[in-house]
Chains A and B, each alone.
Chain A
Amino acid sequence: MLMRRIAYRSSMFVLAIALVVALWEGYKVVGPQDGGKLFGVSILPRANNTAMPHVWTMLSRYGRPEVRGSDTKIWSVVLSGTLFSLRLSLVGFFLGTTIGVGLAVLMSRFKVVQRGLLPYLVMSQTVPLIALAPLVVSWGGKLEIGSFIWPRWLSASILGTFLAFFPIAVGTLRGLASAPAAAVELMDSYAASWRQTLFKLRFPAAVPFMVPAFKLGASGAVVGVVVAEISTGLKGGIGRLIIEYAREATGDPAKVFTAVFGAAALGITMSGLVALSDVLLMRNRPKETSA
């Protein structure tokens, strides 16, 4: 049953990729080489090989060196950049989960906290990430707690946390509140403590709400980290590779796509990890509630 669901999901994934490839190559056949203009505004993207390289050109680029004459093939550079960003995203996601779930528990425990805090959480998400990135880096640089020295990469993770915690906090809060009144009454009749009710009733009842929230949080962490890498110029990650390769877009158009795919793979890996936990956590639940 479990294996069948995993097999089904992965075959749908392959099908989706094939569809995108078909659309891309199909557009290259029918699309205008120099883009389409409608009332003087460019609407249709250029279908030429500089703007839209063939899929096989992009894929074969992975097998060639990063820079002319170098021994390092580009796939290993992209791979290590992706892994670097994955580590940062995981740290950001982990922190975001801790903060998000912690806030949700606090808000569900004290209605005053919920009323006071929730508007600020919503507002926090309206601050543009790009504006925040240099600030976090400079604050981090000034931080020194004992022997702990703030590493530069941690700033990128914190920006991932910043995007990850919000959906997790809101989703978990809704989930915790979703326990039926009758079940809460039952726990009351057993004189169960708040803590017992939280762990034996509210959290299990929240799982169907938390899993989709974690999916949003995971992709948020990736976006935060990549944007932070780009805007602070942090070396080693996939974000930095994207800006570096984008500069060579005219001469070597396929190159930037190798890094873009790396970023996409990063996002897919992160949400894949959450999807796996979804399958595991929801396997014994009635099918109607599985999200």
Chain B
Amino acid sequence: MSALEVVGTSKIFNQGSPKQVDALVDVNLTVNPGEFVSLIGPSGCGKSTLLRLIANLLEPTSGSVSVNKKTAAQARLDQDYGMAFQQAGLFDWRTVSKNIELPLELKGWDKAKREARAKEMLELVKLPEFADLYPWQLSGGMQQRIAIARALAAHPPLLLMDEPFGALDEMTREYMQGELLRICGETSTTVVFVTHSIPEAVYLSNRVVVMSPRPGRITSVIEVNLGSKRNEDTRAADGFFRSITAVREALRGTHADHAAANAVRGVEDR
């Protein structure tokens, strides 16, 4: 059984008009439970569009998306996934703790249970003393960690992340990568992770999906064989560098396309 299945999916914006954009064409992707898959590629390759199709925030033009054997729409209704964006997007009027509780409130959890979970999540992102502060009193990096805590609060089986660590400083970023792996390992969460960073994609992923623009498509899928136990030593391992090189070479192919098609600017999907 697969955690996520994308079959023959295309997304065309403004179909039939002169402004038609083929954001994604005939994408096939299967993700197994507990697997960590990164989507990487130049701007306009449709990686964020793909993530939004999986999240059912966009409807595909053709093809199908299923999450845990359910349609994407049903999975969204059942809150089968959590989501973290590049912008933390915390609510200014809620305390840190209340922000984390938001998805639980929407699920109808009672107060005591919500507060206990929020506390647990704050421990997880190592910001327990900030529970009663307001988001605007925290640094950008801390805000992003709270946003991740919020995405994970309901312990969803699938986690969709759109460059969530893009705004963090390098030290925090590597720390959060390690934490993310630990959390996903413990909870067997499946992750689809959009990133611009090759080392990040390689360090985190079981597979790195390389995408290319105009039209948006998957050009190659690179297996990363670094085992399931990864730590700081992994970043110095030969296999780590071999995989980075492999992803880089795959991306170089897409970059040539990118340059050739540069005259026609595609839509930015963010």
Task: List residues of A whose CB falls within 8 A of some B CB.
Answer: 180, 182-183, 185-186, 188-192, 196, 200-201, 204, 207, 284-286, 289
Mark each residue of chain B from 53 to 93: 1 if its CB lies under 8 Å from any CB of chain A, else 0: 00101000000000000000000111101010101010111
CB-based contact A201/B134 at 8 Å: no
Number of A-B contacts (CB under 8 A): 48
* Bound Cα distance A289, B91 (Å): 13
Taking a contact as CB atoms under 8 Å apart, the answer to whether A192 and B106 are in contact is yes
- A285 and B102 CA atoms in complex are apart in Å by 18
Q: Contact at B76–A204, with CB atoms within 8 Å?
A: no
A66 vs B103: C-alpha distance in the bound complex, in angstroms?
A: 64
Which residue from chain B places its CB closest to the CB of A183 in the assembled complex? B89
Q: Is the interface of A mostly helix, strand, loop or mixed?
A: helix
Tell me, in angstroms, the Cα distance from A221 to B147 when the chains sit together.
Answer: 43
Contacting pair B93 A204 (CB below 8 A)? yes
- Determine if A183 and B91 form an interchain contact, defined as CB atoms under 8 angstroms apart: yes
Measured in the bound complex, the distance between the Cα atoms of B76 and A190 in whole Å is: 7
CA A182 – CA B106 in complex, angstroms?
A: 17
Query: In whole angstroms, how far apart are the Cα atoms of A196 and B94 in the complex?
Result: 15
For the complex, give the distance between the alpha carbons of A182 and B136 in Å: 17
B105 in contact (CB, < 8 A): yes
Complex CA distance for A100 and B92, rounded to whole angstroms: 25
Most buried by B among A182, A189, A289: A189
Contact B91–A201 (Cβ < 8 Å): yes
**What chain A residues lie within 8 Å of B79 (beta carbons)?**
190-191
Given contacts A196-B106, A284-B134, contact A188 B91 (CB under 8 A): no
Instruction: Name 12 extra pairs, CB < 8 A, besides A189-B55, A192-B106.
Output: A182-B85, A186-B89, A188-B76, A189-B76, A190-B103, A191-B77, A191-B78, A191-B106, A200-B105, A201-B91, A284-B93, A285-B93
Given A189-B76, A191-B76, A191-B77: A286 and B92 within 8 A (CB)? yes
Q: Mark B123-148, 1 if CB is under 8 A from A, else 0.
A: 00000000000101000000000000
Chain B residues whose C-beta falls within 8 Å of the C-beta of A284 in the assembled complex? 93, 134
How many B residues face the partner with a CB closer than 8 A?
21
List the B residue with the shortest CB-CB distance to A182: B89
* Residues from chain A with Cβ under 8 Å of B89 in the complex: 180, 182-183, 186
Take A190-B103, A190-B106, A286-B136 as given contacts and tell me if A207 and B93 are in contact as well, using a CB distance cutoff of 8 Å.
yes
B236 to chain A, nearest CB (A): 37
Q: Which 3 A-B pairs have the closest CB atoms?
A: A286-B136, A204-B93, A189-B83
For residue B58, give the distance in angstroms from its CB to the closest CB of chain A.
10
B59 to chain A, nearest CB (A): 12
Establish whether residues A186 and B105, one from each chain, have CB atoms under 8 Å apart when the complex forms. no
Are B92 and A285 in touch, CB under 8 angstroms? yes
Alpha-carbon distance A108/B9, docked complex (angstroms): 33
Bound Cα distance from A200 to B136, whole angstroms = 18
Chain A: which residue is nearest B107 at the CB level? A190
CB nearest to B80 among chain A residues: A191
A224 to chain B, nearest CB (A): 32
- Chain B residues closer than 8 Å to A182, beta-carbon distance: 85, 87, 89
Closest chain A residue, CB of each to CB of B147: A186
Flag if A204 contacts B57 (CB, 8 Å).
Answer: no
Query: Which residues of the other chain, A, contact B78 by a CB distance below 8 angstroms?
Result: 191
14 residue pairs of the A-B complex, CB under 8 angstroms, read: A182-B87, A182-B89, A183-B91, A186-B89, A188-B76, A190-B102, A191-B76, A192-B106, A196-B106, A200-B102, A204-B93, A204-B94, A207-B93, A286-B134
Residue on B with the closest CB to A286? B136
Q: How far is the CB of A161 from chain B (nearest CB, A)?
A: 29
A200 to B101 alpha-carbon distance, docked (Å): 12
Measured CA separation A207–B55 after assembly (Å)? 30
Contact of B57 among A180, A185, A207, A286 (CB under 8 A): A185
**Interchain CA distance A183-B135 in the complex, whole Å:** 14
Contacts of A289 in B (CB 8 A): 92
Q: How far is the CA of A1 from the CA of B106 in the complex (A)?
A: 33
Expressed in whole angstroms, the Cα–Cα distance for A276 and B87 within the complex equals: 33
Residues of B with C-beta under 8 A to A188: 57, 76
Contacts of A200 in B (CB 8 A): 91, 102, 105-106
Chain B residues, CB < 8 A from A192: 106
- The CA-CA distance from A200 to B90 in the complex, in Å, is 12
Chain A positions within 8 Å of B81 at CB level: 189
Report A-chain residues with C-beta under 8 Å of the C-beta of B77: 191
Chain A residues with Cβ under 8 A from B136's Cβ?
A: 285-286
Asked whether A204 and B91 contact (CB < 8 A) given A182-B85, A188-B57, A284-B134, the answer is yes
Complex CA gap A152/B103 in Å reads: 50
